[in-house]
Structure 1
Amino acid sequence: MDINTLPGNPLPNNKSPEVTHYEMLSSMPSIFILPTHMPLHILHESEAKLVKYGGSLTYDIGEAGLILGKVSHKKRAVLELRSRGLWTEEILEIGKFPKTTSDSHPEIPSKRQKLSHEQSAGNASSEIVDLCTDSEEEGNSEVKAQIDPSEAILSTTVDIGHKVTVLRLDWLVQSIKNGEPLPMSPFLVYHGRKIAAPLATPSQPVTIVADQIKQRAIEDAAKRPAIEKQTIHPRRSRQDPEKHSSQRHPPVLYRETTSENDDTTPLPPQPDWVRDHVVYACMRSAPLHPPNEEFILQLLKIRRIRQFTLDDIGVRAYSTFIAAMAAYPYLVKRSSEITALPGCDVKLANLFAEFQHHKSSTNEEGFVSAAQALETDPILRILTIFNDIWGVGPKTARDFYYSRGWRDLDDIVEFGWNSLSRVQQIGVKFYDELQQGVSRMESESIAGIVRQHANAVRPDADQPIGAILVGGYRRGKESSGDVDLILTHRDESVTRNLVVDIVASLEKAHYITHTLSLHVASTHREQQTRPFSAEDGHHFDTLDKALVVWQDPNFENSEDHDPSDSTEGASNHKKNPNPHRRVDIVISPWRTIGCAVLGWTGDTTFQRDLRRYAKKAHDWKFDSSGIRERTTGGQVVDLEHDGDTWQQREKLVMERLGIGWRPPEQRCSR
């Protein structure tokens, strides 16, 4: 297929058919957006625009026919494709759009003329290499040319029959502005055909190279036991998790079946957000336990695997899938229902088909093969343990496994304790306790104690300090991973430096055993909304806060021991059996309490899309400390000044942002 016949390049004397606003890009091939040199918010916006206008977004570059990115040079485009595992071969004469010789057929440049010119100019001793990739039916199979021997590598490539076009991202922007797909030639960077990765060099025939590769593989296999013995610590050679890695087995691809097409059961009416292509999770209601929760749990596992492979694009894609499924109010019965959801594509439909297939064939819970790896793959199991340590993310977990050779918590303690940060040491020390959930009753008890100490350190306040439990508790979860608590007061002199005094009081009473971090940035800027800065826009929360480890010091027989007693006999007292908990104490001035509560209540994807929507719809920067304009040098936008209570102020922020009010129990986008 020539680039002249791709959608967006209408043939002469043929007008493009009229399309609706949301179908403008529906005729385009699958599109992949290169993240290189692209800020995260620009990438989000570009993907959202592509989906909004009917484009087929793919996160698999191998299946893309069209690639958009911030690249302007052909060599750079080829390098970007190759770095992602896609080898290509440039299609000659591309980018030249010939005049037409008739009303219906464009004139095709003659390969024979071009190659004949090269042949006459080439060295007589040059090797003859077949450059033709057309089929014999097209009558060009005999076309050959003489080229420099250094280019003989082309003879070992294999055409896999698909073409790919790389355009500047401006094509998407200008097409949307123009209301129809524009011709591609002004935006063209590179056009080529997909090929298999070359195996040989000009001086090595393919058969010789294949034999060498085979021999090296045999030698590597024979050496494997010796390599295992050379690991950092011999005790870890007790198993080789990579030998049984389930990540090496690709999942089965399930496609739409004829029985699904034969199903005459009418589909439920589409929710407004589906019909209107609403792509932002903050504008949809997502309950704590949606109808498709069983399938969502499988997607959550796949997203976790993507996190461990440091696949940020994959994580973002699955977050979008999960948020859409969480908001869909009906139990999905057909894969075709999924492809209608904003941000969801055939990849998710295939996963659901597999899930449904396993469920119907076993009459038990459905599952997705790719998700099973999180529990069956020995490497992923170890990475999960490391990642669950407080202060350890996916990247550090991979470093523990691959660079340091650790395989369990004992390895960390025995071989790397002194290399850990203080926060990580605390995370390892209380690992089992911090994995336990915190019940609603216990969260309320902790909030009451913190509020009591807050009022004790501000005895002159004209009214009590308010305490608001947010996070998973406010969304309705029966058990939360930690306790998120916001304290506020109408008098800013009360909230100034309040977090420092509260922590000191709770430490003295032995409720706080460890202070992981203490932030007073809000106090330092006189509790004003964070100044707008494009360079540090990734900071979502800038309020005063303390992240602490909590343990109730009261337990049976504890009254016989004075915790402040440091005498020798005090060491014989009974150990505190109460579990350690993670608690976040956040301080917000009353002026922006609505933004603070909103920012600390929604799930991760809800918060991500809240920031994206504020920027897209209003060119505002949302932060838990308030809202600022981006176009006027960062002027503060006050959306909650009419609210008398913190509940009213939060509602005003949501309504005036334009996302609409929904109770916290409906913000569970996962």
Structure 2
Amino acid sequence: MTLLRRRRASSPPAGPPGPGRFPAVVLCLVEKRMGASRRAFLTQLARAKGFRVDRAYSAAVTHVVSEQNSGAEVAQWLEQQREECGAEGDPALLDISWFTESMGAGRPVEIESRHRLRGGWGGGGDREWGRGLPYDSALSQEALETLAEEAGFSGSEGRSLAFTRAASVLKALPGRLSTLEELGPLPGIGEHSRRVIQDVLEDGVCAEVERVKLSERYQTMKLFTKIFGVGVRTASRWYQEGLRTLVDLQERGTKLTRQQQAGLRHYDDLNTPVERGEAESISRAVQGAVQRCLPGTSVTLAGGFRRGKPHGHDVDLLLTHPEAGREAGLLSRVVSWLDSQDLILYQHSQENSYALQEGPEPPGGRDVMDRFERCFSIFRLEVQGGPGAARGWKAVRVDLVVAPISQFPFALLGWTGSRHFERELRRFASHERKMVLNSHALYDSRRNLFLPAVSEEEIFQHLGLEYVPPAQRNT
């Protein structure tokens, strides 16, 4: 059965490709490492979106798309194709990320440096799921993460969490996964996830996952939830109203909040990865503003960058002062000064409401993950190359969070992530230690006692765990 499935999917759908909606763009997908089945699915997707996809390389091809190949490998492949067909041309050699973004936008997106293939693994290999992972494990993890995302879009938090846990288990594997039996009785991988992994191992692709990727609802939900200020409920409502594209939102006069207006206005920039150097540049700018307003205040770069990631979606900065209470009123002064320097394109602040909570035990649940004084903002970052180079700047999402010094270790732990690591750590605290852990405190329910800490290490000690460095919290 498997061999028959492979044989049927060995080539894209029959029939000559038409000129498509974008006559200046002709795609050719490299089958090496992508696999015949996935190539067929992606070809079908692209043609449904109005792209012309040629089965073989020719002089007409303008964009060569590859997955998990290096620039050198694709260049060698291209040279071989030229020799066989005698066609010249100088197509762009692109990572699958360009293809994915173009499918989401419904048009060819502008080619940026991050889309172009480099030496070593392709640009997509720099994504968190692909770093250091064997190819089959990476594909399986991506497939599970897609199903987790789709379940979240459907409001099924339990299914989403199950697929997320399974993907995290794959990410933690020390070596290549060749057969499903190698997983053994590992916890966190249910029967559904095992079927997905089996399909990927056998065929290089999971039909269920590809159907999800091709579905109009998934693509629309993914597009809308990438707008700053738009959650699943809003995106779902827009989809039910018949909206499908960003242009639809504008042409139909959809009522947007101020935050959503800013998110739509800067959509391309905010969905371009933020490089570490850019995050550090913003951190220095905030540090300068903080020292003007309250000398001695520290600014800590948190989130994925603290975990060692080379790029991320936004920048999280934690502010605190070593003297208790001195941080009061700091955020408004810092934001005001940054605004006066034309560094902020949008900002919305919320007050610290944690102190208003009554009772000895910090309330549980996701609604109290963040009750710090906080500013949701979009920074105007000067750039010389890459996205925004033509105008000299790009928009970057920045969260400024002020934590009292007594709560700072808990805030640092909570804001470092990853989200799945934090969820599992808090679940362990609750189920195994009868404690409540959040970004403000650690409470021992058995002794009816708050447990103070001056560092992350001390929090782990209270939980009876070995300290896990930030770089090991990506799963």
Q: Note closer, same or farther for the CA distance 1:451–1:313 as it changes in structure 2 (3 Å cut).
A: same
Larger RCO (CA under 8 A, 6+ residues apart)? 1
- Aligned partners of 1:612, 1:530: CA distance in 2, in Å? 22
Give the 5 Å matches for 1:153-164.
none
- Aligned partners of 2:335, 2:145: CA distance in 1, in Å? 35
The alignment status of 1:579 with 2:424, answered yes or no, reads no
Match of 1:432 among 259, 268, 271: 268
Q: Note closer, same or farther for the CA distance 1:547–1:350 as it changes in structure 2 (3 Å cut).
A: same
- Aligned partners of 2:401, 2:395: CA distance in 1, in Å? 19
Match of 1:656 among 449, 462, 470: 462
The alignment status of 1:474 with 2:306, answered yes or no, reads yes
Q: Note closer, same or farther for the CA distance 1:373–1:394 as it changes in structure 2 (3 Å cut).
A: farther
* Equivalent residue pairs, number: 345
Amino acid in structure 2 at the alignment position of 1:659: L
Q: 1:288 offset after TM fit, Å?
A: 5.9
Q: Note closer, same or farther for the CA distance 1:335–1:551 as it changes in structure 2 (3 Å cut).
A: same
Match of 2:148 among 297, 300, 303: 303
The alignment status of 1:383 with 2:221, answered yes or no, reads yes
Amino acid in structure 2 at the alignment position of 1:636: F
Q: 1:632 offset after TM fit, Å?
A: 5.4
The alignment status of 1:345 with 2:190, answered yes or no, reads yes
Give the 5 Å matches for 1:46-445.
289-291=132-134, 292-358=137-203, 366-402=204-240, 404-417=241-254, 419-445=255-281
Q: Answer yes or no: is the 8 Å Cα contact 2:318–2:401 preserved in 1.
A: yes
Q: 1:517 offset after TM fit, Å?
A: 3.6
Residues 91-119 of structure 1: CA distance to partner in whole angstroms, max 9, x if unpaired?
A: xxxxxxxxxxxxxxxxxxxxxxxxxxxxx
Match of 2:339 among 494, 498, 507: 507
Q: Note closer, same or farther for the CA distance 1:340–1:313 as it changes in structure 2 (3 Å cut).
A: same
- Aligned partners of 1:552, 1:370: CA distance in 2, in Å? 41
Residues 354-406 of structure 1: CA distance to partner in whole angstroms, max 9, x if unpaired?
A: 10111xxxxxxx2222222343223321221111111112222111011x211
Q: Note closer, same or farther for the CA distance 1:575–1:531 as it changes in structure 2 (3 Å cut).
A: farther
SS of 1:495's equivalent in the other structure is coil
The alignment status of 1:613 with 2:450, answered yes or no, reads no
Amino acid in structure 2 at the alignment position of 1:479: H
SS of 2:361's equivalent in the other structure is coil
Q: Answer yes or no: is the 8 Å Cα contact 1:512–1:551 preserved in 2.
A: yes
Q: Note closer, same or farther for the CA distance 1:415–1:613 as it changes in structure 2 (3 Å cut).
A: same
Amino acid in structure 2 at the alignment position of 1:544: E
Q: Answer yes or no: is the 8 Å Cα contact 2:143–2:196 preserved in 1.
A: no
Q: Answer yes or no: is the 8 Å Cα contact 1:553–1:576 preserved in 2.
A: no
SS of 1:506's equivalent in the other structure is helix
SS of 1:494's equivalent in the other structure is coil
Amino acid in structure 2 at the alignment position of 1:656: H
Q: 1:631 offset after TM fit, Å?
A: 4.6
Q: 1:531 offset after TM fit, Å?
A: 5.7
Q: Answer yes or no: is the 8 Å Cα contact 1:302–1:371 preserved in 2.
A: yes
Give the 5 Å matches for 1:531-542.
532=361, 534=363, 538-542=367-371
SS of 2:253's equivalent in the other structure is helix
- Aligned partners of 2:366, 2:145: CA distance in 1, in Å? 27
Q: Note closer, same or farther for the CA distance 1:475–1:536 as it changes in structure 2 (3 Å cut).
A: closer
2:450 aligns with: 636
Q: Note closer, same or farther for the CA distance 1:311–1:598 as it changes in structure 2 (3 Å cut).
A: same
- Aligned partners of 1:388, 1:339: CA distance in 2, in Å? 37
- Aligned partners of 2:463, 2:245: CA distance in 1, in Å? 47
Q: 1:584 offset after TM fit, Å?
A: 0.6
Amino acid in structure 2 at the alignment position of 1:308: F
- Aligned partners of 2:304, 2:359: CA distance in 1, in Å? 25
Q: Answer yes or no: is the 8 Å Cα contact 1:288–1:476 preserved in 2.
A: no
Q: 1:659 offset after TM fit, Å?
A: 3.0
Q: Answer yes or no: is the 8 Å Cα contact 1:489–1:590 preserved in 2.
A: yes
Question: What is the TM-score normalised by the length of structure 2?
Answer: 0.67
SS of 1:579's equivalent in the other structure is strand
Residues 130-151 of structure 1: CA distance to partner in whole angstroms, max 9, x if unpaired?
A: xxxxxxxxxxxxxxxxxxxxxx
Q: 1:625 offset after TM fit, Å?
A: 1.5
Amino acid in structure 2 at the alignment position of 1:413: Q
Q: Note closer, same or farther for the CA distance 1:507–1:575 as it changes in structure 2 (3 Å cut).
A: farther
Q: Note closer, same or farther for the CA distance 1:454–1:657 as it changes in structure 2 (3 Å cut).
A: same
2:60 aligns with: none
Amino acid in structure 1 at the alignment position of 2:276: R
- Aligned partners of 2:359, 2:178: CA distance in 1, in Å? 47
- Aligned partners of 2:391, 2:324: CA distance in 1, in Å? 38
Q: Answer yes or no: is the 8 Å Cα contact 2:383–2:392 preserved in 1.
A: no
Q: 1:617 offset after TM fit, Å?
A: 2.3
Q: Answer yes or no: is the 8 Å Cα contact 1:530–1:626 preserved in 2.
A: no
1:487 aligns with: 319
Q: 1:347 offset after TM fit, Å?
A: 2.4
SS of 1:452's equivalent in the other structure is helix
Q: Answer yes or no: is the 8 Å Cα contact 2:362–2:436 preserved in 1.
A: no
Amino acid in structure 2 at the alignment position of 1:446: I
1:550 aligns with: 379
Match of 2:328 among 493, 496, 499: 496
SS of 1:329's equivalent in the other structure is coil
Any gaps of 5 or more consecutive residues in structure 2?
Answer: 1-44, 50-128
Q: Answer yes or no: is the 8 Å Cα contact 1:287–1:666 preserved in 2.
A: no
Match of 1:625 among 440, 452, 465: 440
Q: 1:662 offset after TM fit, Å?
A: 1.9
- Aligned partners of 2:142, 2:359: CA distance in 1, in Å? 36
- Aligned partners of 1:502, 1:434: CA distance in 2, in Å? 23
The alignment status of 1:667 with 2:447, answered yes or no, reads no
Q: 1:583 offset after TM fit, Å?
A: 0.2
- Aligned partners of 1:555, 1:317: CA distance in 2, in Å? 43
Residues 3-42 of structure 1: CA distance to partner in whole angstroms, max 9, x if unpaired?
A: xxxxxxxxxxxxxxxxxxxxxxxxxxxxxxxxxxxxxxxx
Q: 1:590 offset after TM fit, Å?
A: 2.2
- Aligned partners of 1:387, 1:415: CA distance in 2, in Å? 18
Amino acid in structure 2 at the alignment position of 1:345: G
RMSD: 2.9
Residues 488-526 of structure 1: CA distance to partner in whole angstroms, max 9, x if unpaired?
A: 22112332222222111111111112113433335x65x
Q: Note closer, same or farther for the CA distance 1:342–1:662 as it changes in structure 2 (3 Å cut).
A: same
Residues 291-331 of structure 1: CA distance to partner in whole angstroms, max 9, x if unpaired?
A: 43332112111111112222222101112211222222222
- Aligned partners of 2:219, 2:265: CA distance in 1, in Å? 20
Q: Answer yes or no: is the 8 Å Cα contact 1:543–1:588 preserved in 2.
A: yes
Q: Note closer, same or farther for the CA distance 1:436–1:531 as it changes in structure 2 (3 Å cut).
A: farther
Any gaps of 5 or more consecutive residues in structure 1?
Answer: 1-240, 246-285, 359-365, 557-573, 642-648
Q: 1:333 offset after TM fit, Å?
A: 1.7
2:108 aligns with: none
